[in-house]
Amino acid sequence: MGMKMVRYGIIGIGNMGSAHAKALFNGEVKNSTLTCVCDCDKNRIDWARGQFGDKISYYADYREMLSSSNLDVCLIATPHYQHTKMAIDAFDRGLHVLTEKPAGVDTKSVELMDKKALESGKSFGIMFNQRTSNIFSALKSFVDLGILGDIKRFNWIISNWYRTQAYYESSGWRASWNGEGGGVLLNQAPHNLDIWQWIMGMPSSLTAFCHEGLFHDVDVEDDATIYAEYSNGATATFITSTGEYPGSNRLEISGTYGKAIAENGVLKLFLLKKDERKICFNSKESMPCEEVTEIVLNLKDERDGHILIMENFSDHILNGTKLIAPGEEGIKSLGISNAAYLSSWKRSVVDLPVDEDEFLFYLNRKKASEVSGKLAKKSKGAINDMGNYSRRWSVQW
């Protein structure tokens, strides 16, 4: 007798949802199957019918799908503002939830979702697929083991999230405070913000500069720089953009026993035999030449991270396997981006955790001042990359 199949129902079958749907339907995700999809856009439902025929169920109202008996997991792949409400509704109906990133738009609503997840006793995951990257998981292990000593500095320039104006005009909800709730920090970079806090933990304060419409005709930020500080004296710098081509993806961590650099799909370690702090205060030389051991690790990823996250989620439901990306951890990267927006709007240093009510006050002010329907009128309604895991969603070294 074969192992029980975990049944997935997907809300939102746009670019991401359609790719998840095809992977599940085609049997690419072990012990998992697609049983239903939901979308309020008839064109997307028509696309799905053409792909899956009468082998799954179709819904226009997600509440109707959640009330059916043919799914175990609700996979949410809708615009950001809808994530928290849909997740809460799914937990209320006794379903497991796997949500796309970000967890939501503001930490206050995400706290309610996390509370409901805990009360429900159901499994909760988030699609932080880059946690499955061999480079990032190895880097986290090295930091956790203390290979680099006490961490001094974290620096990541991640500007290869390039997007054109056509991308922003492909859907009316994109690139607006009312429709998306933010720009590059809330759409593309949540993956990187998550990896940052996953390896380093949460900073105690930050200062950010979020440039709105710097490279595109959009209301939200398409370029951001964050400088953060930790209570132990460590610092972090994070730079991201959708307006640079070719972009960069270079992550560097410096500690008292050396440094690590991740770039171009390669992880390099430069390790000292002595603690730099002891060298600094015990050496009689002003500029000593210490021995440095260089280790080069080519850590390739064999399978798509989205599929690995879904497999892990199903395995967690069936066998209790530890989650790679627990849904409750989504609030951490969102806390960084909320604080970054607030810092940029106030032009000041912001402490973490962010003041949720203050953030919402400023966000609502941005939403109120936005030209209603600006992008909706421009939207060409294009459906890009339907059914495929595009290269633009990968780590993109």
Mean pLDDT of 44-54: 97
Question: What are the extents of the domains in the chain?
Answer: 6-130+304-325, 133-303+332-382
Condensed to tens digits (0 to 9), the pLDDT of residues 282-322 reads: 999 999 999 999 999 999 899 999 999 999 999 999 999 99
Confidence tier at 167 by pLDDT (50, 70, 90): very high
Query: 107-120 and 330-346 are packed helices; what angle lies between their axes, rounded to 10 degrees?
Result: 170
Of 381, 147, 386, the C-alpha closest to 260 is 147
Give the pLDDT band of residue 331 (cuts 50, 70, 90): very high
| pLDDT at position 381 | 52
CATH fold for the domain made of 6-130+304-325? Rossmann fold (3.40.50)
- Mean pLDDT across the stretch 157-186? 94
Mean pLDDT of all residues in 322-336: 98
- pLDDT above 90 for 275: yes
Instruction: Give strand ranges (E) for the chain.
Output: 6-11, 32-38, 57-59, 73-76, 96-99, 124-126, 151-158, 205-212, 221-229, 235-241, 249-255, 258-263, 266-272, 292-298, 350-351
The burial of 108, by beta-carbon neighbours within 10 Å (0-12 exposed, 13-18 middle, 19 or more buried), is given as middle
Q: What is the pLDDT of residues 177-202, one digit of tens each?
A: 999 999 999 999 999 999 999 999 99
Angle between helices 190-200 and 134-145 (to 10 degrees): 20
> Crossing angle for the helix pair 107-120 and 356-369, nearest 10 degrees?
120
Q: Do domains 6-130+304-325 and 133-303+332-382 have the same CATH topology?
A: no
Per-residue pLDDT at 89 exceeds 80: yes
Q: What is the mean pLDDT of residues 15-19?
A: 95
Report yes or no: 163 and 241 within 8 Å, Cβ to Cβ: no
- Based on C-alpha coordinates, what's the Rg of the chain? 22
Does domain 133-303+332-382 fall into CATH 3.30.360.10?
yes
Of all residues in the chain, the percent with pLDDT exceeding 90 is: 90
Residue 383 has pLDDT above 50, yes or no: no
